[in-house]
Amino acid sequence: MNRHLGRLLVLLAGLAVAGKLAADEPAATSFPRTRISEDERDHWSFRRLNPGRVPAAGKSRWGRNPIDRFILARLDENGLVPSGRASRRILVRRAHFSLLGVPPSPEVIGQHETDRSPSAWSDLVDRMLASPHYGQRWARHWMDVARFAESGGFEHDDDRPTAFHYRDFLVAAFNRDMPFDRFVAWQLAGDELAPKDPLALMATGFLGAGVFPSQLTEAEFESSRYDELDDMVTTTGVAFLGLSIGCARCHDHKYDPIPSQDYYRLASAFTTTIRGEVTTRAPWHSTDQKVLVTSEGLPKLKHHADSRGFPHFYQQTFFLARGDVHQKHGAADTGYLQVLVRPGTSTSHWQVKPPADRKRTSFRRASLARWMTDTERGAGHLLARVIVNRLWHHHFGRGLVASPNDFGTQGEHPTHPKLLDWLAQRLLDCGWRLKPIHRLLLTSSVYCQNGRADGNRQDRDLENRFWSHRPRRRLEAEAIRDALLSVSGRLDSGMYGPGSLDENSRRRSVFLKVKRSRLVPTMMLFDWPEHLVSIGRRANTTTAAQALAFMNSPVGRGYAGSLAERLPADPGRAIVRAWQLALGRTPRADEQAAVMVFLERQEHIYRRAGRSDPIRTARVDLCQALLGMNEFIYVD
């Protein structure tokens, strides 16, 4: 009996030891994968940059810079030839929307059309890059990627009244041509890397921009915190690396070499990171402002569940089997994606030790930022590929990688891999500055092509993957609204400050307040995102409601009325000026004759109806028709 009892005690002791081990390290059954193979590192996006040599120029005089040689080499391989150069008027309008998001004035178009200097085009591009409108345009692109909004979503959708400072950081950063590696690092850990710089504090709004529920029961406290960590990890992955890291939360990634362990080690960098507020003063403010930051050790933002002991964060992040907080398998130390760590490199290589006078934060995020921007041993080579592809995507309508948020095995392969790597390397050679890359893209012959697509091009390259011509593109919601403000003379070019939910606001669309439960209706008509997750490529739909918004909307009628007020009294000159302001060109003879008849007819109808202002009302009708034309919302 004693012998059996002894064996039972030994067995129980063994089970106790096993239980202790399970609490300290991942169990093999739950986390079977701890290493990735060398073959898995061979996917094109995980390899080091390999731009190779720029292809030879050959006999063609079409190319203006190295980008064109890469494009021309692929065109030659596929039996295609590039299109000719677009007209100066088309190019000025195309580049203004591409870089600034607003149409050029007739005077800017006229000046370029008569400028015969060899550097006319590159000089115009430089002037646009120096415009404050550039930062407003490209900040809005990044806000899509960062799933930026100024409310928490869910039931109450509580406002975050100090969140707009993150948007202001983006505008300032793009206008100053902040090196992209710093741009990234500050969004992850600006409070740790540059705690006295107001812009660095504003940048951390990136991590805290996601949704978070306002109704929580005690049973949901911990799972909601893991959801919040997941939002940070997932957005960081797709925004900077083009990888769906969040897919590894419940199991090893089904397609990419991202074990679940890597996910939780990355999540642990944000273990104690929460939203808070600090008081600081940006250069464009005359007084101190409260700013939403995502940091550690700060007073937390209020939550409905605070009175019931909601902790906001926990001291450790655990490995979770199947993503279940009830199946913990040991605490996770901070680590990174193995596939983006050079073999033989320890995580300590990127560790940033807190200064002696800084004990509030852990500096785990600063270490993450070092890994993220390290082009030799870390993820920097992929970071560079992803951002130059985003620039190409917005300038050309489709990236060299057509899935800008997915560079994994299920994403699209690059159509021009050597060009992508060459651009990424050029970015590094330029000190991570984006404006030189913009300049390269816009001064290339491939960007300046016209849109003619003959039968041979259609047959050999239906989707124009090799860029043998320039397809027509519809403007996004913001550019449509900003163009309406601009041509109607209503545009307020103010730079910073709180946004507004008022659709009649005269400020640019980047300053519309993004409240998740109250998105601006007409913006949604033109495929404005829902601001819930990172968006790398917007949908592009064509619906009857879009046309009706121009035909029946009081707001649209208001723009037409303001445009009519800008026209000279003489009918003939008024028609010419209306065309110049709205479409950037003068009307053809047949258009002018038809419009003269239209105005006379409309005036007659309104006089018979007893209207006191028949001439003005007829002109408003004309302007409304112009603003509703495809030519107004499409760019050649």
> For 459-516, how does the pLDDT look when each residue is reduced to its tens digit (9 = 90+)?
788 889 999 999 999 999 999 999 999 999 999 999 999 999 998 999 999 999 999 9
Same domain, yes or no: 372 and 495: no
- Tokens at residue 225, please? 């915190």
Domains identified in the chain, total number:
2
Query: How high is the pLDDT of residue 58?
Result: 75
Q: Give residue 357's pLDDT band: very low, low, confident or very high (50, 70, 90).
A: confident
pLDDT of res. 356: 82
Confidence category of residue 563, pLDDT binned at 50, 70, 90: very high
The residue-averaged pLDDT of 298-317 equals: 94
Helix (H, G, I), strand (E, B) or coil at 555: helix
Residue 9 in this model has a pLDDT that exceeds 90 = no
> Is residue 90 a contact partner of residue 464, using CB atoms and an 8 Å limit?
no
Pairing of strands 289-295, 473-474: unpaired
**Domain end among 339, 355, 377:** 377
Beta bridge partners of 318: 331
> What average pLDDT is seen over the chain?
92
Q: Residue 568 is encoded by which pair of tokens? A: 């000279």
The 3-state secondary structure of 83-146 reads CCECCHHHHHHHHHHHHHCCCCCHHHHHHHHHCCCCCHHHHHHHHHHCCHHHHHHHHHHHHHHC
d(CA 477, CA 141) in angstroms, rounded, equals: 12
Per the domain annotation, does 521 fall within a domain? yes
Number of C-beta neighbours around residue 509 at 10 A: 23
End-to-end CA distance of the chain: 92
Distance (Å, rounded) from C-alpha 345 to C-alpha 375?
13
Tokens 């893991």 — which residue?
226
Note whether 482 and 599 are same-domain residues.
yes
Q: What is the pLDDT of residues 418-439, one digit of tens each?
A: 999 999 999 999 999 999 999 9
Indicate whether 341 belongs to any domain.
Answer: yes
Q: Is the pLDDT of residue 13 over 80?
A: no
Q: Is the pLDDT of residue 339 over 70?
A: yes
DSSP conformation letters of 418-431: HHHHHHHHHHHHTT
* CB-CB contact of 165 with 555 (8 Å): no
351 domain residue, yes or no: yes
Instruction: Establish if 464 belongs to a structural domain.
Output: no
Whose tokens are 């995502």? That residue is 294
Residue given tokens 């050679």 in the structure block: 429
Predicted pLDDT at 137: 98
How far is Cα of residue 317 from the mean position of the Cα atoms in its chain?
Answer: 29
The pTM for the full model equals 0.93
The dihedrals phi and psi of 40, each to the nearest 5 degrees, come to: -70, -20
* Coil, helix or strand at residue 354: coil
Q: Which residue, among 391, 435, 400, has the nearest Cα to 419 in the 3D structure?
A: 400
Predicted pLDDT at 560: 97
> Can you tell me which residue has the tokens 């969004």?
187
Residue 325 domain-assigned?
yes
- In the predicted structure, residue 5 carries a pLDDT above the cut 50: no
pLDDT band at 31 (very low <50, low <70, confident <90, very high): low
Residues 370, 484 within the same domain:
no
Asked whether residue 582 is domain-assigned, the answer is: yes
Mean pLDDT for 144-173 is: 97
> What would the mean pLDDT of 186-209 be, rounded to a whole number?
97
Place of tokens 């915190």: 225
Which pLDDT value is given to residue 360? Answer: 85
Q: Which of 343, 377, 411 is the last residue of a domain?
A: 377
Per-residue pLDDT reduced to its tens digit, 77-130: 999 999 999 999 999 999 999 999 999 999 999 999 999 999 999 999 999 999
> Is the predicted pLDDT of residue 223 greater than 50, yes or no?
yes
Nearest Cα neighbor of 424 from 396, 465, 386 is 386
Q: Is residue 440 in a domain?
A: no
The percent of residues in the chain predicted with pLDDT above 90, rounded, is 86
User: In the listed set 359, 377, 395, which residue is the last one of a domain according to the structure?
Assistant: 377
In this prediction, residue 338 carries a pLDDT of 96
| Calpha distance 423→51 (Å, rounded) | 8
Domain span holding position 594: 477-525+542-636
Distant-in-sequence, close-in-space partners of 269: CB < 8 Å, separation ≥ 6: 334, 364, 365, 367, 368
Contact 92, 584 (CB under 8 A): yes
Domain-located, residue 177: yes
In the prediction, which pLDDT does 628 show?
Answer: 94
